[in-house]
Amino acid sequence: MSKLEGKVALVSGSGRGIGRAVALKLAREGARIVVNDLDSEPAQAVVEEIRALGSEAVACIGDVAAPDFGTRFVQTALTNFGGIDIIVNNAGYTWDNVIQKMSDEQFEAMFNVHLMAPFRILRAAAEPLRAAAKKEAAEGKEVIRKVVNISSVAGLYGNSGQVNYSMGKAGIVGLTRTLCKEWGRYKVTVNCVAFGYIKTRLTQPITTEQATIDVAGRDIQVGIQSNLIKTFEQLIPLGRAGEPEEAADAVYLFCSPESNYISGQVVVCGGGLLV
């Protein structure tokens, strides 16, 4: 039997990149997945990929930063699968600038997607998790559930041009360690994975034309200059950027039964990058 057989996992930002890899990894281990993306097409494509693997999935389309999203996301799991076992707060993007050129809108956007959104999702999940734990305790059962929040080496060590992103990713570490203490009585472990340089559309090499993504009507520039990529890779002891599937493996560590007595921890998935 697969290690996550019958579990229900919510993975935000799972239509593309690392989130997609996480959703597929958990599905291969038997989990039923609530897929999320801003756009319907990539989310539905991942739903179909998961169904092709023999697991179950539904989509919850929308912006994680919307005030009502957390409630919708949690309710999608409860309505379709009857419970929640794993929450992965993965959705996010970067919107860079040095502090003297950064607008309030840029700063608040990173706060909303990287910190406020996970807070709202977890707040919405609190009562269903508490009720499930209370029922299981009355039956003499111990069921361990999992929360995995996503941070970055930028949140641990800072990164030039990313005061907004680094703030959000540092804040999620504090949320993780606090919720570990609040939710231990519900038999929920709360951990964090901080990514280094992982290959995604946000970190693609900039060639002759600057790549952009559309986020809630904003045209956000993404990508890294090719010469900087070489510099980053030289700083990584393993000598290369990570693949989304390798990032997903790190998240899976905290979702697996082997981590049932590990909580409040931050693991860096960065090929040894510690700067």
pLDDT of residue 231: 82
Q: Is residue 92 exposed (0-12), middle (13-18) or buried (19+ Cβ within 10 Å)?
A: buried
Higher pLDDT, 98 or 231: 98
Question: What is the Cα–Cα distance from 3 to 27, expressed in whole angstroms?
Answer: 10
- Check pLDDT > 70 for residue 1: no
Question: What is the Cα–Cα distance from 59 to 153, expressed in whole angstroms?
Answer: 30
Nearest to 200 by CA among 168, 235, 248: 248
pLDDT of residue 208: 54
Which helix or strand (DSSP H or E) is residue 148 part of?
A: strand 145-152
Tell me, yes or no, if the pTM score tops 0.85: yes
Could you list the active site residues?
165
Higher pLDDT, 275 or 256: 256
When pLDDT is averaged across residues 130-140 and rounded to a whole number, the result is 98
Instruction: Determine whether domain 8-195+243-269 maps to CATH 3.90.79.10.
Output: no
Q: How many residues are given for the chain?
A: 275
Nearest to 4 by CA among 263, 258, 264: 258
Domain edges within the chain: 8-195+243-269
pLDDT digits (tens, 9 = 90+) for 171-216: 999 999 999 999 999 999 999 999 999 988 777 666 656 677 677 7
